[in-house]
Amino acid sequence: MIEIQRAAADAGTPADSQLQDWAIATLAAVRRDGDITLRLVDEHEMTRLNTDYRGKQGPTNVLSFPFEAPEGLPEAALPALLGDIIICPDVVSGEAEQQGKTHTAHWAHMVVHGVLHLCGYDHQAPADAEQMEALETDILGAAGFADPYTTEEA
């Protein structure tokens, strides 16, 4: 299940069904299943989260918080929780304009990117970044979007 929480003004954000479709497509591409909460927040909340959890000032586009089971709790006692994805619509919108991308394409990229983080993918090391970017490009391409690492639209 992909739960959508809208804690920020949602003018111009994709419909819940689109957000869910992109998340589900990503899970299918990496052969994973589980529950995700996708929360849309304002710049104030994103700034607080970015500072508290990453030690960085200002808002960011997307944060992912993989679920960590409490120690000692049997895995069978838990539903298949993958974690939470937090997206800031104002940042995503601004980035889309700056990068010359459609809002829809950039939103799809942020959802795919966040889900991949919940599934254990990362981009800290160059080889890991290359693998994650290739997956993002493939998943987005299958959904009809251009390579997110170029500014040309399909």
pLDDT digits (tens, 9 = 90+) for 54-91: 999 999 999 999 988 778 777 676 668 899 999 999 99
- Cα maximum dimension of the chain: 49
The full set of domains in the chain, from first to last, is 2-142 (3.40.390.30)
- Residue 17 main-chain phi, psi, to 5 deg: -65, -35
- What CA–CA distance (Å, rounded) separates 60 from 111? 14
**pLDDT over 90, % of the chain:** 71
The structure tokens listed for 38 are 């996708």
Query: Which own/partner pairs from 103-108 qualify as long-range (CB within 8 Å, at least 24 positions apart)?
Result: 103/12, 104/14, 104/18, 104/145, 105/140, 105/145, 105/146, 105/148, 105/153, 106/148, 107/13, 107/14, 107/18, 107/19, 107/22, 108/14, 108/18, 108/22, 108/140, 108/143, 108/145
Tell me what pLDDT residue 150 has: 80
**What pTM value is reported for the model?**
0.89
The alpha helices in the chain, defined as continuous H runs, are: 16-29, 43-54, 89-99, 103-118, 126-142
Intervals of the chain under pLDDT 70: 10-11, 75, 77-79, 151-154
